[in-house]
Amino acid sequence: MEIRGREIKFLRTVGASCEIAEICPDGELSRITEMLQSKRTGDNVKAMAAVIVALNKGYEEAKAFDEEGYKPRPLGMREVMLLSDDDFTTLFTEATAAFYGEVPTIEVEPPKKNKKAKAETSD
Protein backbone atom coordinates (compact mmCIF):
# COMPACT_ATOMS: atom_id res chain seq x y z
CA MET A 1 0.00 0.00 0.00
CA GLU A 2 1.21 3.49 -0.74
CA ILE A 3 1.19 6.08 2.05
CA ARG A 4 2.33 9.65 1.44
CA GLY A 5 4.17 8.74 -1.73
CA ARG A 6 6.02 5.66 -0.53
CA GLU A 7 5.26 1.96 -0.66
CA ILE A 8 4.73 0.49 2.80
CA LYS A 9 5.75 -3.13 3.31
CA PHE A 10 6.15 -5.37 6.33
CA LEU A 11 8.54 -8.05 7.55
CA ARG A 12 8.46 -10.07 10.73
CA THR A 13 12.06 -9.87 11.87
CA VAL A 14 13.42 -10.97 15.23
CA GLY A 15 13.66 -7.32 16.21
CA ALA A 16 10.05 -6.63 15.20
CA SER A 17 8.89 -9.66 17.19
CA CYS A 18 10.80 -8.40 20.25
CA GLU A 19 9.22 -4.95 19.94
CA ILE A 20 5.74 -6.44 19.68
CA ALA A 21 6.39 -8.82 22.58
CA GLU A 22 7.27 -5.84 24.80
CA ILE A 23 3.70 -4.54 24.56
CA CYS A 24 2.03 -7.95 24.95
CA PRO A 25 0.74 -9.03 28.38
CA ASP A 26 3.66 -10.27 30.50
CA GLY A 27 5.97 -9.65 27.51
CA GLU A 28 4.75 -12.89 25.91
CA LEU A 29 4.43 -12.75 22.13
CA SER A 30 2.08 -15.74 22.33
CA ARG A 31 -0.44 -13.37 23.95
CA ILE A 32 -0.62 -10.98 20.99
CA THR A 33 -4.25 -11.84 20.26
CA GLU A 34 -5.18 -11.01 23.84
CA MET A 35 -3.40 -7.66 23.50
CA LEU A 36 -5.18 -6.87 20.24
CA GLN A 37 -8.59 -7.65 21.71
CA SER A 38 -8.46 -5.08 24.48
CA LYS A 39 -11.84 -3.90 25.65
CA ARG A 40 -10.67 -0.29 25.55
CA THR A 41 -10.73 1.14 22.02
CA GLY A 42 -7.79 3.49 22.54
CA ASP A 43 -5.58 0.71 23.89
CA ASN A 44 -6.58 -1.57 21.03
CA VAL A 45 -5.83 1.03 18.34
CA LYS A 46 -2.47 1.92 19.93
CA ALA A 47 -1.51 -1.77 20.02
CA MET A 48 -2.50 -2.18 16.36
CA ALA A 49 -0.46 0.90 15.45
CA ALA A 50 2.55 -0.46 17.36
CA VAL A 51 2.34 -3.70 15.36
CA ILE A 52 2.24 -1.72 12.10
CA VAL A 53 5.23 0.39 13.16
CA ALA A 54 7.34 -2.58 14.34
CA LEU A 55 6.75 -4.72 11.24
CA ASN A 56 7.34 -1.84 8.84
CA LYS A 57 10.53 -0.94 10.70
CA GLY A 58 11.59 -4.59 10.37
CA TYR A 59 11.09 -4.43 6.61
CA GLU A 60 12.84 -1.07 6.20
CA GLU A 61 15.86 -2.03 8.31
CA ALA A 62 16.26 -5.41 6.60
CA LYS A 63 16.08 -3.76 3.18
CA ALA A 64 18.71 -1.20 4.21
CA PHE A 65 20.95 -4.02 5.44
CA ASP A 66 20.54 -5.98 2.19
CA GLU A 67 20.68 -3.10 -0.30
CA GLU A 68 23.67 -0.81 -0.15
CA GLY A 69 22.64 2.83 -0.27
CA TYR A 70 19.00 2.23 0.68
CA LYS A 71 17.87 4.76 3.27
CA PRO A 72 15.14 3.34 5.51
CA ARG A 73 12.03 5.43 6.04
CA PRO A 74 9.94 3.49 8.55
CA LEU A 75 6.54 4.72 9.60
CA GLY A 76 6.45 6.38 12.99
CA MET A 77 3.66 6.10 15.53
CA ARG A 78 2.58 9.70 14.94
CA GLU A 79 2.34 9.14 11.19
CA VAL A 80 0.28 5.98 11.67
CA MET A 81 -2.07 7.72 14.08
CA LEU A 82 -2.75 10.41 11.46
CA LEU A 83 -4.02 7.90 8.88
CA SER A 84 -7.65 7.65 7.86
CA ASP A 85 -9.60 4.73 9.32
CA ASP A 86 -9.60 2.96 5.93
CA ASP A 87 -5.84 3.31 5.42
CA PHE A 88 -5.17 2.23 9.00
CA THR A 89 -7.34 -0.87 8.61
CA THR A 90 -5.72 -1.79 5.29
CA LEU A 91 -2.21 -1.38 6.73
CA PHE A 92 -3.09 -3.44 9.80
CA THR A 93 -4.48 -6.23 7.60
CA GLU A 94 -1.25 -6.28 5.58
CA ALA A 95 0.87 -6.15 8.75
CA THR A 96 -0.93 -9.07 10.36
CA ALA A 97 -0.58 -11.09 7.16
CA ALA A 98 3.19 -10.51 7.39
CA PHE A 99 3.20 -11.34 11.10
CA TYR A 100 1.40 -14.65 10.63
CA GLY A 101 3.18 -15.46 7.36
CA GLU A 102 0.01 -15.35 5.30
CA VAL A 103 -0.06 -14.49 1.66
CA PRO A 104 -3.15 -12.52 0.68
CA THR A 105 -5.38 -14.60 -1.55
CA ILE A 106 -8.22 -13.81 -3.87
CA GLU A 107 -11.09 -16.25 -4.03
CA VAL A 108 -12.40 -16.81 -7.51
CA GLU A 109 -15.55 -18.67 -8.42
CA PRO A 110 -15.18 -21.28 -11.15
CA PRO A 111 -16.55 -20.13 -14.52
CA LYS A 112 -20.13 -21.09 -15.20
CA LYS A 113 -20.71 -23.60 -18.00
CA ASN A 114 -22.33 -22.20 -21.08
CA LYS A 115 -24.89 -24.81 -22.18
CA LYS A 116 -25.20 -23.31 -25.67
CA ALA A 117 -21.45 -23.40 -26.29
CA LYS A 118 -21.27 -26.97 -25.01
CA ALA A 119 -24.08 -28.08 -27.35
CA GLU A 120 -22.33 -26.51 -30.37
CA THR A 121 -19.03 -28.29 -29.64
CA SER A 122 -20.66 -31.69 -29.34
CA ASP A 123 -22.09 -31.61 -32.90
pLDDT in tens, the chain (123 residues): 999 899 999 999 999 999 999 999 999 999 999 998 878 899 999 999 999 999 999 999 999 999 999 999 999 999 999 999 999 999 999 999 999 997 544 455 555 555 555 555 555
Q: How far apart are CA 69 and CA 67, in angstroms?
A: 6
Q: How far is CA 85 from CA 8, 49, 51, 113, in A?
A: 16, 12, 16, 41
- Name the DSSP class of 4: T
Beta bridge partners of 3: 6
Q: What is the pTM of this model?
A: 0.80
Amino acid, res. 44: N
- Name the DSSP class of 31: G
Domain ranges of the chain: 2-103
Yes or no: say if 19 and 54 are a contact pair by the CB < 8 Å rule.
Answer: yes
